[in-house]
Amino acid sequence: MNFWLVRILSIGAAVGFAWFLSVATVDAPTLLGPRLVALAGMYVTLAVSLNLINGITGQFSIGHAGFFQVGAYTAGILSGLYFKEGMNPMMWVGLMSIAGAITAGIAGLLVGVPSLRLRGDYLAIVTLGFGEIIRIFVTTQQDPLINGATGINVKPQHNAVFLSILLAIACIAVCRNLLQNAHGLPFLAIREDEVASNAMGVNTTKYKVIAFVIGSAFAGAAGALFAHTESFILPDLFKMELSFLILTMVVLGGNGSITGSVVAALVLFYLPEVLRGGEGQATMAFSGPMIVGFFVGLIALVAGIRHSQQRHMSSQAAKFGFLAFTMGAAVLVGVVVSLLAKASPNLSAAKYDVNQLRMVIFSITLVVVMLVRPQGLLGHREFGWGLFTRKSATSEVQA
Amino acid sequence: MNKKLIGIASSLSLSVAMLAGCTGGAATNSTEPTNTGSNSTSTTSSTARPAVTAPPIEAKGDTIKIGLVASISGALKPWGDDSARGAKLAVDEFNAMNKLGGKRVELIVEDSGSDPKQGQSVTDRLIASGVIGIVGEVASGITAQIAESAFRSGVPVVAVGATKTTLTDVGNNIFRVCYTDALQGPVMARFAYEELGLRNMAVMTDNQQPYSQGLSASFSEKFKALGGKIVREEFYKSGDTQFTSQITNLKGLNPDGIFCSGYFTEVGIIAREVGQQGLKVKLLGGDGWDSSELQNSGEAILGGYFCNHYNSAEDRPEVAQFLTSWKKAYDGSTPGTTMGALGYDAAMLMCDALTRAEKLDTHALIKAIDETVGFKGVSGVIDLKGHNGNPPKRALVVELQKSGQVFAKAYEPEEN
Amino acid sequence: MTWLAALDVNGLPQQLTNGIVVGAIYALIALGYTMVYGVLKLINFAHGEVFMIGCFISLFVSWSLGYTSSSIPTATNPSALMWMILASMLVCGLVGVFLERFAYRPMRGQPRINSLITAIGISLFLQYGLSLVFPISPPRTITEQVNPYWQNSVSVTLRAAPQELVNDRAKVVAELKTAVDAQNARMKELGIDSTFRLPEEDKYLVTTVRNLEAKERELGADVNKSETRITVPTGKMIMLVATLALMLLLRWVVMGTAVGRQMRAVSHDFDSASLMGIDVNFVVSMTFFIGSALAGAGGMMAATFQGVALTAFVGLEYGVKAFVAAVLGGIGNIPGAVLGGLLIGMLESIATAFGQSAYQNIVTFFILILVLIVKPAGLLGSAKAEKV
């Protein structure tokens, strides 16, 4: 098909889809309401942009929340300074997200350039440190525009559904086009073998920095949207846990798979919301001993599965027997621990709702995925248009 | 070689930028804590509060839903628990009095987790479930967010223990039953200067809490106006566990007192550090010290003074009756902190306003609360009419001893 | 730059000493990070949580020995500290071994990023999981009295104050004591508990005390200004000595024992070591045990001598700082971890000495980034050339 026709049709379809969602969500039940859908779009953007840095270029950045925060506070500060009541909220928010992208992109540049010389582990600590520096720096600012730990109320409160979906689609498109293009090959080359690609003449410096800048710019744009949707931002929202959450999304979906990041982002974002039980209803309550027993049993189970995978079993029957034994042991351990826990007054009285368990569930997900299927749900695979033309539904992205 | 130079250059420029930012911050932080904007220390709130523009929400049916936001989990759990119990007690008593012709008040309790963001989301949830009034919270940071959400929907808020002065400026639907930092800070300053004869004070501020920042500012302003000197303001964050360097810093400056404007969780550890370093100073603070455990966190805190809302040893009939009802309802215990009484007052005031409101909807309720005069609360007489949401109340300075809080001096509200 | 003027040069030795005391704990935890990295090339993100577990174990042991906030045994139990540190070290060591066996060993053949992510997951799980299991709110601290020397301190005077000044002050202190006794006696006589309730004619007792207090303070200030002195509470002194002992013990284990030699071999080259017949699994477990035990000791000391308020999240702050310390000194390098820990501790104190207590943590990260740019392997680390 004609190159430009395809492009225009795709853009039109993207805009149309985003517009459709923004209208359809207005009167929908909370789970599909404007705020959650907008947030989902932002998390997808965050996951895919981190995937560009971690999965596609093979770097190890765990400070993504820092770029998110830069974008959010840029929007907050600029809105505090320049927003007037009469302006169109959507146009203003759109403008803010561009501003957020620019500042976050600059931040990405500042972080990326010094980190060139650092290997994976060191890069991780530098990016983590950067995220923390940003957060602490904001916390110490007394100026009422930034307001330190108190947080700022961002003025035009606007559920940015249209913009957020559009941003997510744009992010996915950029990353996908990079991958399918000759332009994207250097990134993949760096991921596969940095030394070799350097030897082959690929300017690893340039591409690593580009990856950082693009990834952080998208995160910053999402941050600006976040500031206006939530209308109240404070530094505590952008702690390390958020970086780890985004990392979980990327890892669960498969480091390097864009589809995987999208799916994982949606799943991990919507799961606690779904379990919240709807408007105003009581959240599901779990008792303390039950939880302790469950988790200990789960760890034992996973360890057992893992162990059985590695051991060389003489026959299928032996394997099966061992698995059954492991599961039995896991259940037993779980029951024993929960009985013990019943004895402790702290534990037996306590009831927890899903909110408190959210981080526990996430961390367990991370560990279990790593132990059982480290390549994530989709590995390096992508879903593409090939779904309709090719025999196999998925095509693996090979460097 | 190039990479190294670029790397060093960019990080140097980053560090210069940061140092410039640091000095900008330091210049305003080191000796003179001047806070502008939302940390202003006006004793009376600014003139006209923005009026609620949302349409009124009506209470439907025989049950009137009132929401309670309390810190049932998190660092402020002792306060949240007390305020929740106080509020529940008030609502139960009110329902028993049957002043609404058969209609009952239902108190819906939500946990803010001691976190402003969670406070905001549970407020939204409460409003969506049809409450026409909200009681809460005990901390200013959380109440600020409750106020923002509630203002958008026009639901009246009666804050329990939030003292930050500018909270009620958000809108004309925000009220409280306690005094403001604009009263508390100057009271402690006067107490320090006049009663204890202190002249050189240091201030320890929790940079994470708007309450602490505002209180330190109002204290320092009054203390300097009286002729005292603030030798230094040191900072920490909620959750910090080490204060050695800050206290060592203060030691060199030889203050005769330290004003710790933060919450009890950190104040206890700060006091310990002061004791360990052999610093002989008087420790002073605000109502953030109020806790049933503080007197057990070491020797150094004993003999310290702080400003509280009321004292359970007071001679008024409301206090005695409250304590009896509490004992009956909650297994013979007593409220650990003043938030029990304040929670009770806030909820009872809300219910009382329901009896005076023309209609059972948010607009009429706001009007009724605003016209409250002479409400005899456990924590004192509460007048809201003409006071922009901030009732003039007495402040009690108490001494912290091993046995608990011992009344030292009362200060009547004054308009500066 | 006003922050330069804020520096009190006289107090600098004290601040530096404070820094060393704090840095000792960071060093203990950093040792764990560095040892594990040395043998496995893995950053054990969960190490901070092991520290946290150490803190809680000491808390529980102190509770079981009777030192709760409301009741303190009258007879001081000098072995209380011994029990606490032994329990913490043992439990934490076992936790470390358990973690390695079930969470890290399965990841050994895989790309390093996967192990890192597993470590992050375990760390988060321990934090949030244990915060549910120990719902301690408000955060508890260990009772001061566990440390039998909690009221004493050790002082070193570098420059003494003039004797007359010291004598004057001693005189005033004695006078103050008599005045306070008189005031308290009168209050007891009248049966009142607050100085504010004294009748008018007795108020002079209060004014006398106040005046003497002011005078004592003034003289005390003069003494302070004219002397340079370093005071360390005895408890923290014990902590320093114990830390030093543990570090020397570690050095002996690593340098002087067979196991230590095996550890060094494995950290030098994992595959060759296993080919040479070393039981790498055992060596790795041993490394985790020792490293985690050290973190447990650090936890016990922070909880007891520094009075840290214990929540399930204390491991975060200490863990990150200790990790920065380990990287600063050169990760994988044992003396480097100690150096890094002490440096970080001193940096924090110096930052506060310059009046920038709000920026303590930023300074830490900042220095780290600067060092890594100039010397990517850390201060004492050796850059291993990557052979292709």
Contact assessment for residue B390 and residue B168, using Cβ atoms and an 8 Å cutoff: yes
Q: Is C103 on the interface with A (CB under 8 A)?
A: yes
Are A213 and A353 in the same domain? no
- Region C52-71: mean pLDDT is 82
Q: Confirm whether A215 is domain-assigned.
A: yes
Same domain, yes or no, for B280 and B227? yes
Q: What is the mean pLDDT of residues B219-240?
A: 89
Q: Does C362 touch chain B (CB under 8 A)?
A: yes
Burial C353-370 (b: 16+ CB within 10 A, else e): bbbbbbbbbbbbbbbbbb
Same-domain check for residues B254 and B352: no
Residue of C42, C128, C331 to mutate, interface with A, max A Cβ within 10 Å = C128
Collapsing DSSP to helix, strand or coil, B135 comes out as strand
Q: What is the pLDDT of residue B299?
A: 78
Shared domain for A247 and A370, answered yes or no, is: no
CB contact under 8 A, A142 and B35: yes
Question: Are B246 and C352 within 8 A, CB to CB?
Answer: yes
**What is this structure's pTM?**
0.80
Which tens digits make up the pLDDT trace of A301-350? 666 666 666 665 555 666 666 667 666 766 776 676 666 666 555 554 55
Residues A271, A290: one domain?
A: no
Answer yes or no: do B347 and B240 share one domain: no
SS3 A133: helix
Same-domain check for residues B242 and B362: no
Contacts of C41 in chain A (CB under 8 A): 121
* A173/A296 same-domain check: no
Distance CA B132, CA C318 (A): 46
The minimum CA-CA distance between C271 and chain A, rounded to whole Å, is 19
Q: Residue A242 is encoded by which pair of tokens?
A: 């958020």
How close is the nearest chain A Cα to the Cα of B122, in Å? Answer: 9
Q: Residue C31: its pLDDT value, please? A: 93
Q: B410: distance to nearest CA of chain A, Å?
A: 31
Mean pLDDT, residues A136-164: 79
Using the beta-carbon criterion (under 8 Å), do B21 and A137 form an inter-chain contact?
yes
Residues A271 and A300 in one domain: no
**DSSP assignment of B152-170, as one string?**
HHT--EEESS---GGGGGG
How far apart (Å, rounded) are the C-alpha atoms in residues C388 and C383? 15
Look up residue A308 and give its amino acid: S
Instruction: Judge whether A243 lies within some domain.
Output: yes
Residue A349's domain spans which residues? 286-383
Instruction: Say how far apart CA A75 and CA A227 lie, in whole Å.
Output: 7
Question: What pLDDT digit, counting tens, does each position of C8-37 carry?
Answer: 677 778 888 888 988 999 999 999 999 998
Average pLDDT, integer, range A34-52: 91
Calculate mean pLDDT across residues A51-69: 89
The pair of three-digit structure tokens given for residue B41, joined into one six-digit string: 């220390």
Does C79 have pLDDT greater than 90?
A: no
pLDDT of residue B45: 42
Arithmetic mean of pLDDT, A258-274: 84
Chain C CB contacts of B235 below 8 Å: 357-358
Cα atoms in the Cβ-side hemisphere of radius 13 Å centred on B18: 21
Q: Which helix (H) or strand (E) holds A186?
A: helix A185-192
Q: Is the residue at B279 inside a domain?
A: yes
Retrieve residue C137's tokens.
């709110």
Cα of A335 to nearest chain B Cα, Å: 28
**How many domains in chain A?**
2
pLDDT digits 0-9 by tens, B140-177: 889 988 998 898 888 999 999 888 888 888 888 999 99
Task: Tell me how far apart the alpha carbons of residues C295 and B404 are, in angstroms, rounded to a whole number.
Answer: 38
Tokens 């011994």, residue located: C82
Token pair belonging to C12: 């600098």
Q: Residues A249, A302: one domain? A: no
The per-residue pLDDT for B14 is 46
* Contact by Cβ (8 Å): A369, A245: no
Using a CB-CB distance cutoff of 8 angstroms, which residues of chain B are in contact with residue A205?
A: 3
Q: Are residues B269 and B403 in the same domain?
A: yes
* pLDDT band at residue A106 using 50, 70 and 90 as cut-offs: very high
Contact B28 A117 (CB under 8 A): no
pLDDT the model gives residue C3: 57
Last residue of a domain, one of A207, A242, A275: A275
Other CB atoms within a 10 A radius of the CB of residue B1 amount to 5
Buried/exposed B197-226: b ≥16 CB within 10 Å, e otherwise: bbbbbbbbbbbbbbbbbbbbbbbbbbbeee
Q: Which of residues 262-301 of A touch B (CB under 8 A)?
A: 279-280
Evaluate the CA torsion angle C173, C178, C183, C185 in order and state its sign: positive
Domain range holding B147? 63-179+314-385
Task: For C111, name the nearest residue in chain A, comparing CA atoms only.
Answer: A374
Long-range contacts, C97-100 (Cβ 8 Å, 24+): C97/C285, C97/C288, C97/C289, C97/C292, C99/C44, C99/C46, C99/C50, C99/C288, C99/C292, C100/C284, C100/C285, C100/C288
At residue A74, the pLDDT reads 92
pLDDT (mean) for A361-383:
73
Average pLDDT over residues C357-376: 80
Q: What is the mean pLDDT of residues C343-358?
A: 80
| C321 vs C316: CA distance, rounded Å | 8
User: Count of domains in chain B?
Assistant: 2
Does B22 reside within a domain? no
Residue of B nearest to A115 (CA): B7
For residue B7, is pLDDT > 60?
no
Q: C327 vs A132: CB contact, 8 Å cut-off?
A: no
Residues B335-377: pLDDT tens digits? 888 899 999 999 999 999 999 888 888 888 999 999 988 898 8
From the CA atom positions of chain A, what is the Rg in Å?
23
Higher pLDDT among residues B42 and B111, named by residue: B111
Per DSSP, C195 falls in state: G
In the numeric block, the tokens 């090339």 are attached to C41
Distance from CA of C117 to the nearest CA of A (A): 7
Close Cβ partners of C42 (under 8 Å, ≥ 6 residues apart): C36, C104, C112, C115, C116, C119
Do A294 and A268 sit in the same domain of this protein? no
Q: How far is Cα C134 from Cα C122, in angstroms, rounded to an integer?
A: 17
Q: Among A1-10, B325-334, C144-153, C257-266, which stretch is predicted with the lowest mean pLDDT?
A: C144-153
Question: What chain B residue is nearest to C225 in terms of C-alpha separation?
Answer: B252
Q: Which residue in the set C107, C358, C372 is minimally distant from A370, CB to CB?
A: C107
CB contacts < 8 A (B, C)? 157
- Min distance A277 CA to chain C CA atoms (Å): 21
Any domain includes B9:
no
Half-sphere exposure of B26 (CA within 13 A, CB side): 22
| Nearest chain C Cα distance for residue B278, angstroms | 9
Domain check: are A163 and A309 in the same one? Answer: no
ipTM: 0.78
| Token pair belonging to B381 | 């007489």
Are A65 and A240 spatial neighbours (Cβ–Cβ below 8 Å)?
A: yes
In a domain, A280, yes or no: no
Q: Looking at the domain assignment, is residue B25 inside a domain? A: no
Q: Is the peptide bond before B266 cis (omega within 30 degrees of 0)?
A: no
Cα–Cα distances in Å, from B348 out to A396, B84, B135, B191?
Answer: 66, 12, 10, 32
3-state SS, A158-173, equals CCCHHHHHHHHHHHHH
> 3-class DSSP state for residue A348?
helix
Interface touch B207/A140, C-beta < 8 Å: yes
What's the token pair of residue A106? 């600059």
Confirm whether B322 is domain-assigned.
yes
**CB of B183 closer than 8 Å to CB of B169:** no
Give the C-alpha separation, A307 to A289, whole Å. 27
Contact assessment for residue A111 and residue A63, using Cβ atoms and an 8 Å cutoff: yes
Measured in angstroms, the CA of A187 and the nearest CA of chain C are apart by: 18
Is B31 inside a domain boundary? no
pLDDT at A131 over 60: yes
Q: Decide which of C74 and A67 is more confident.
A: A67
Domain boundary among A275, A295, A311: A275
Indicate the pLDDT class of residue B20, thresholds 50, 70 and 90. very low
What is the distance of C-alpha A340 from the center of its chain?
Answer: 37
Which class for C45: exposed (0-12), middle (13-18), buried (19 or more C-beta within 10 A)? buried
Cβ–Cβ < 8 Å for C92, C299: yes
Phi, psi of A309, rounded to the nearest 5 degrees? -65, -35
- Listed in sequence order, the residues at least 6 apart from A61 whose beta carbon sits closer than 8 Å to its beta carbon are A50, A53, A54, A123, A124, A127, A212, A215
- Asked if B278 and B403 sit in the same domain, the reply is yes
Which of C125, C132, C386 minimises the CB distance to A364? Answer: C125
Task: Test C138 with B265 for CB contact under 8 angstroms.
Answer: yes
Name residue B69's beta-bridge partners: B110
Q: Within an 8 Å CB–CB cutoff, is residue A87 touching chain C?
A: no
- CB within 8 Å of chain C, chain B residues 115-154: none
| Per-residue pLDDT tens digits for C275-333 | 998 998 999 999 999 999 999 999 999 888 887 778 888 888 889 889 889 988 888 88
Reduce the DSSP state of residue B201 to 3 states and report it.
strand
Contact yes or no for C55/C359 (Cβ under 8 A): no
Question: Within 13 Å of residue C147, how many CA atoms lie on the same side as its CB?
Answer: 28
Contact C313 B239 (CB under 8 A): yes
For B170, the closest chain A residue by CA position comes to A153
Nearest CA to C380 out of C342, C337, C343, C347 is that of C337
Same domain, B126 and B267: no
Boundary residue ending a domain (A232, A255, A275): A275
Nearest residue of A to residue B10, measured between CA atoms: A110
Which residues from B are below 8 Å from C139, CB to CB?
Answer: 75, 265
Residue B204: its H or E element: strand B200-206
Say if the Cβ atoms of A113 and B10 lie within 8 Å: yes
Q: Are residues A187 and A291 in the same domain?
A: no
Q: From CA C196, how far away is CA B115, in angstroms rounded?
A: 38
Taking CA atoms, C302 is separated from A202, B150, B241, C140, in Å, by: 50, 43, 10, 13
- Which of chain A's residues have a Cβ under 8 Å away from the Cβ of B207? 139-140, 148-149
Mutate to test the interface with B, among A150, A213, A233, A281 (most CBs of B within 10 A): A150
Q: Do B257 and B333 fall within a single domain?
A: no
The reply to whether B218 falls in a domain is yes
Tokens of C275: 């080919």
pLDDT digits (tens, 9 = 90+) for A195-251: 888 888 888 888 888 999 999 999 999 999 999 988 888 888 888 888 988 988 888
Residue B193 lies in a domain: yes
Handedness of CA C184, C185, C186, C188 (dihedral sign): positive
> CATH no. for residue B265?
3.40.50.2300
- Across the A:C interface, residue pairs with CB atoms under 8 Å apart total 130
- 3-class secondary structure, B361: strand
Buried b (16+ CB within 10 A) or exposed e, B123-153: bbbbbeebbbbbbbbbbbbbbbbbbbbbbbb
Report phi then psi at A314, rounded to 5: -65, -40
Can you tell me the mean pLDDT for A52-68?
88
Q: How far apart are CA C107 and CA A367, in angstroms?
A: 11
Range with the lowest mean pLDDT among A43-47, A162-166, B5-9, B170-174?
B5-9
Whether residue A310 sits in one domain with residue A201:
no
Together in a domain, B104 and B208: no
C122-143: pLDDT as tens digits: 898 888 878 776 656 566 777 7
Confidence band of B219 (pLDDT split at 50, 70, 90): very high
Same-domain status, A114 and A262: yes
- For chain B, give percent helix, strand, coil, nearest 5: 45, 20, 35
CA distance C119 to C100: 10
Average pLDDT over residues A32-43: 85
> In terms of domains, do A183 and A305 share one?
no
